[in-house]
């Protein structure tokens, strides 16, 4: 049996799915960018702060500084491969821009973010815009509340909103 040996001079991380995404966005493929994109492109759709991205990298043994994480996330945002949200206070969270529009439910106590998609709500918003003579192109909807965990514990004295 013949084993195909890649003749590519690229390091393994340069031929990952993350590196593809970077190239398509017109960004140079660098190790920090691949690693940070990898965190955001995890198994579950997540909305992470820069600090959380940094902590995950640390936990995985990656030696990237918080300043680098901030800088790369800003580059990603400019290249539109991630979205930045300010749901509660000045806490910014980032998520992969998958092109699928969805809405968010946010916990005012802990900042947890969940996603939802509701066709009825979307239709209503289109109708609402039409009443004012607008053709709806998109929307952004955030429902604020308390997540199941926070609902069970005593109310925090200072909600994030
Ligand atoms: Zn909560
Ligand atoms: Zn989201």
Tokens of 122: 């979307």
Higher pLDDT residue, 68 or 7? 68
CA distance 85 to 91: 8
Q: Name the CA dihedral angle for 103, 108, 114, 118, rounded to a multiple of 10 degrees.
A: -40
| Span 137-142, average pLDDT | 90
Residues with CB under 5 A from ligand 1 (ion): 107, 109-110, 112, 147, 150
Q: Report pLDDT for 1.
A: 54
CA distance 84 to 78: 10
Q: Is 150 labelled as part of a ligand binding site?
A: yes
| Span 87-98, average pLDDT | 89
Q: Report pLDDT for 104.
A: 95
* 139 backbone dihedrals φ, ψ, rounded to 5°: -155, 165
H helical segments located in the chain: 17-24, 31-40, 50-59, 66-78, 119-131, 148-152
> Over 60: is that where the pLDDT of 7 sits?
no
What is the pTM (predicted TM-score) of this model? Answer: 0.80
CA 121–ligand 1 middle distance (angstroms): 24
Identify the residue whose tokens are 């239709």: 123
Tokens of 143: 């429902």
> Over 80: is that where the pLDDT of 144 sits?
yes
pLDDT band at 44 (very low <50, low <70, confident <90, very high): confident
Q: Report pLDDT for 5.
A: 54
Identify the residue whose tokens are 């300010």: 86
CA 122–ligand 1 middle distance (angstroms): 26
| Span 96-105, average pLDDT | 86
Q: Which domains does the chain have, with CATH numbers?
A: 10-97 (1.10.10.10), 101-161 (3.30.1490.190)
């Amino acid at each position: 049996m013949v084993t195909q040996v890649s003749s590519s001079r690229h390091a393994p991380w340069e031929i990952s799915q993350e590196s593809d995404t970077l190239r398509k966005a017109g960004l140079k493929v660098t190790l920090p960018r691949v690693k940070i994109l990898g965190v955001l492109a995890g198994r579950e759709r997540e909305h992470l702060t820069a600090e959380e991205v940094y902590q995950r990298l640390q936990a995985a043994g990656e030696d990237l500084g918080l300043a680098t994480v901030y800088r790369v996330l800003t580059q990603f945002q400019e290249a539109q491969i991630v979205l930045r949200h300010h749901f509660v206070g000045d806490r910014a969270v980032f998520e992969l821009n998958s092109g699928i529009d969805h809405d968010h439910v946010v916990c005012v106590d802990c900042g947890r973010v969940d996603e939802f998609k509701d066709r009825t709500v979307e239709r209503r918003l289109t109708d609402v815009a039409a009443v004012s003579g607008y053709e709806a192109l998109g929307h952004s909807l955030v429902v604020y509340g308390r997540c199941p965990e926070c609902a069970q514990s005593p109310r925090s004295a200072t909600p994030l909103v």
